[in-house]
């Protein structure tokens, strides 16, 4: 089952994947609203995109961004460092979800392959995996219909490597392109397609490409992966290595507040 034309908010619109998301959403006939930190940052985005200025770390600036949209695609990310990953990778998702004030949308969130690997040197240095994983948990708790995409290494694919493969359980933890590779363009295509395909509802998967041509119909790929268990904090098959009762109190409070928010009587689904 597919849905029609949407108004899509792209969070991270000026990033290397976000720009592809803007272009892909427009190509599919959607209206696009691009959230940017300044007008200057929007240079190079298609003229058809509506530009809205806002700062992810300042919740009061996000009401205009989310007003009237039908769907959101998150492709934002920090440049590393524990404070930035918390404020942006986690805080950006948190603040946008709270700005919705309980209104339910279709949401696609890009995190990363290996996001459940807590022991690797990258996560020990930046805590990026932990904070991205917490952002996934927020989305699952929010009551929105979602798709969480964990892409492999951007644009490390060979010229003949475009056959999409969806994995679950997040078992690849080499921390190198050996975990899997994927073109940025294809990440954007999967994120945008997920907004209108019911087969993608409430699913979390790693996204990589293998040798072969890309598939034109993504619905069978989405249909072949399992939906997350209702009420579970993590994706299906994920390692149980981040107990909720050991999480910081403020994180548990955020989850509880999102779970307790009631949807309005009119739903966008």
CB within 8 Å of 197: residues ≥ 6 apart: 1, 2, 218, 219, 222
CB within 8 Å of 12: residues ≥ 6 apart: 18, 21, 35, 74, 75, 76, 77, 110
Domains and CATH numbers, the chain: 7-260 (3.40.50.720)
3-state secondary structure the chain: CECCCCEEEEECCCCCCHHHHHHHHHHCCCEEEEEECCHHHHCCCCCCCEEEECCCCCHHHCHHHHCCCCEEEECCCCCCCHHHHHHHHHHHHHHHHHHCCCCCCEEEEECCCCCCCCCCHHHHHHCHHHHHHHHHHHHHHCCCEEEEEEECEECCCCCCECEEEEECCCCCCCCCHHHCEECHHHHHHHHHHHCCEHHHCCEEEEEEEECECCCCCCHHHHHCCCECCCCCCCCCCCCCCCCHHHCCHHHHHHHHHHHHCCCCCCCCC
pLDDT tens readout for residues 231-246: 999 999 999 999 999 9
224: left (phi over 0), alpha (psi -120 to 50) or beta: alpha
At residue 268, the pLDDT reads 40
Residues of the chain with pLDDT under 50: 1, 263-269
The terminus-to-terminus CA distance of the chain in angstroms comes to 12
């Amino acid at each position: 089952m597919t849905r029609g034309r949407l108004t899509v908010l792209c969070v991270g619109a000026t990033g290397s994947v976000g720009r592809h998301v803007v272009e892909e959403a427009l190509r599919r006939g959607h209206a696009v609203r691009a959230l940017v930190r300044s007008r200057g940052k929007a240079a190079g985005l298609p003229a058809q995109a509506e530009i809205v200025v806002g700062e992810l770390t300042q919740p009061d600036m996000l009401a205009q961004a989310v007003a009237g949209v039908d769907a959101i695609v998150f492709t934002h990310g920090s440049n590393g460092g524990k404070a930035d990953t918390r404020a942006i990778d986690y805080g950006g998702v948190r603040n946008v979800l709270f700005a919705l004030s309980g209104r339910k949308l279709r949401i696609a969130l890009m995190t990363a392959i290996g996001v459940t690997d807590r022991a690797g040197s990258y996560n020990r240095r930046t805590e990026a995996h932990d904070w991205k994983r917490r952002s996934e948990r927020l989305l699952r708790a929010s009551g929105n219909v979602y798709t969480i995409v964990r892409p492999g290494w951007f644009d490390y694919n060979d010229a003949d490597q475009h056959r999409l493969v969806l994995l679950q359980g997040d078992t690849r933890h080499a921390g190198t392109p050996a975990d899997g590779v994927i073109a940025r363009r294809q990440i954007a295509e999967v994120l945008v397609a997920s907004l209108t395909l019911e087969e993608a509802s409430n699913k979390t998967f790693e996204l990589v490409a293998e040798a072969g041509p890309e598939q034109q119909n993504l619905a069978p790929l989405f249909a072949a992966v399992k939906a997350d268990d209702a009420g579970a904090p993590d994706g299906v098959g994920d390692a149980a290595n981040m107990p909720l009762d050991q999480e910081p109190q403020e994180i548990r409070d955020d989850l509880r507040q999102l779970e307790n928010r009631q949807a309005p009587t009119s739903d966008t689904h």
